[in-house]
Amino acid sequence: MIVLQANTPSDWVMFFGHFHPVVVHLPIGMLMIAAILELIARKKELDSLQPAIAPILLVGTLTAIISCLFGYLLSSSGEYNEDTLFWHQWMGIAVAFISFLSWYMKVNWQQDPIMKKAYLPSLYLMVFLLTATGHLGGNMTHGEDYLYANTPEPFRSLFGLPARTNGGIAKKKIENINEALVYQDIVAPVMEQKCWSCHNANKIKGGLRMDKQELLMKGGENGAIIKANDATNSELIKRLLLPEEDEHHMPPKGKTPLTEQEISLLHWWIQNGAAFDKKVAQLKPDEKVKAFLASLETGGATQTQSTGESISPVFNEKVAAASDVDIQKLTALNVIVMPVASGQNFLEANFVNDRSFDDAQINLLSNLSEQIIWLKLGSTKITDKSLTELAKLKHLTRLHLEHTAITDAGLTQLQDLKYLEYLNLFDTKISDAGIQSLAKLKSLKKLYCWQSKVTKAGVEALKKALPNVEIDTGWEEKNLAEVSK
């Protein structure tokens, strides 16, 4: 291994070392052009190209040598995985040597019928080594997923890659947020997307690795970056809060910064001990963190439905901003109230943290009847009495009533919700008569009625009235396609 072992490389060493990524592209281009010209000249019998090949090989060789020298200096930073760096360096040196050998054979051996046979294989070997060396360099600089990070559909699904949204990798949906492990299920995915590309096994910038729990807590060359129970004085939080133009701001300029909610999440985790084995239910999230956690329950489907569904016509409506007083009445009950789309006043109300909410409190939604379009009342204590009030939420598009005591009689109250697209009736007493009352909901797209009294006959009847609705009953036969024919 030829990695420089100096603990603190001089400014001059790092100055020239940082030119390695700039210089390295020239030999790559020159050597690839030489190989391509040789191939074209031989296949197409274009002898006029031959005089250009040797000079191009020579320039490629010389710049490859310079690139190796600059790379040697850059290796002294200690920011790269030694095993990957070892192979990258020696393969880079091999490229310079083989390219020199190819140039020598091109100039001196073309008249020898035996020796010139080695020339073409040397070019093939040079191209192979050039490709492999560049691949390893890209892994160290940009991360191992750099080549396939932006793979489009349908190839993402075909190769089992995680789905993407406009903001990057889609958040993984968490069914039971309170039972989720704070670090493993919530914090680590944020760090993986925003931090690990510079602090992983292949690139250890600042002597810091963040992809392993023990190494994250150990810190980097300047010491620990996390002080458990003291987020304000933790170097990680300090760096995240620096102005973007500051050279110490993390992530560095050009990388996607953490959102305000993501920074709040890390602050909350550190302030509560930075434990790796705690569940959400064991900690007390503040309002910003509650909103972030709520988005994970829908797989990050906030903002105008980035899941590929058509945007609801409700977003063409204009409503006034909700009163802060009315919102505070809900948040005082630990209800999560958050905007659904930027630039508009529509809201989501999520009662995941207030399972005791009942009919006596349903009037708290009255003054927000214009603004609430997503409502999650699952597992609360509401009954049919509350559905009369819900019917006044005229812009409602998504409604969760799973695990509640509602019946067919209450469901009839929802017939006039013209924008309602999603309705969850999982584990309720709803029967065929109840879902038949939904036939007037022409906007309905998805209906969930697992563990209810709904039968196949009821599903068939509703499908006749609403042929485009997707009804999920949870039946093992999964024969809804036949029912709809």
For 477, the 3-state DSSP assignment is coil
Apex CA 13: angle with CA 8 and CA 16, to 5°?
145
Q: Which amino acid is at 415?
A: Q
For residues 177 and 352, the answer to whether their CB atoms sit within 8 Å is yes
Q: pLDDT tens digit string along 152-203?
A: 766 766 766 655 544 444 456 677 888 889 999 999 988 888 888 778 777 7
| Mean pLDDT, residues 50-68 | 93
Burial class (CB in 10 A: 0-12, 13-18, 19+), 32: middle
pLDDT of residue 390: 95
pLDDT band at 271 (very low <50, low <70, confident <90, very high): very high
* Cβ-proximal residues to 479 (8 Å cutoff; 6+ apart), any chain: none
For residues 430 and 455, the answer to whether their CB atoms sit within 8 Å is no
pLDDT of residue 161: 64
Q: Is the pLDDT of residue 375 over 60?
A: yes
* Cβ-proximal residues to 265 (8 Å cutoff; 6+ apart), any chain: 186, 187, 190, 289, 292
pLDDT of residue 6: 43
Q: What is the reported pTM?
A: 0.44
Average pLDDT, the chain: 83
Cα separation of 449 and 454, whole Å? Answer: 7
pLDDT of residue 482: 42
Q: What DSSP string describes 166-218?
A: TTEEPPPP-S-GGGSBIIIIIIHHHHHHHTTTTBSSSBBGGG---SSHHHHHH
Cα separation of 411 and 408, whole Å? Answer: 5
Q: Is the pLDDT of residue 296 over 80?
A: no
The residue ranges of every structural domain in the chain are 11-142, 162-284, 301-484
CA 9 to chain CA centroid, Å, is 36
Highest average pLDDT, of 40-49, 243-252, 269-278, 284-293, comes from 269-278
Q: The domain 301-484: what is its CATH number?
A: 3.80.10.10
Q: Is the pLDDT of residue 215 over 50?
A: yes
Q: pLDDT tens digit string along 84-115?
A: 788 889 999 999 999 999 999 999 888 888 88
Q: Is the pLDDT of residue 484 over 60?
A: no
pLDDT of residue 148: 63
Residue 386, CA distances (Å) to 267, 367, 383, 415, 460 in order: 38, 15, 6, 15, 29
Highest average pLDDT, of 165-179, 191-205, 251-265, 382-396, comes from 382-396
pLDDT of residue 144: 65
Could you tell me the two tokens for 121? 């294989």
Contacts within 8 Å (CB) and 24+ apart, 144-152: 144/200, 144/202
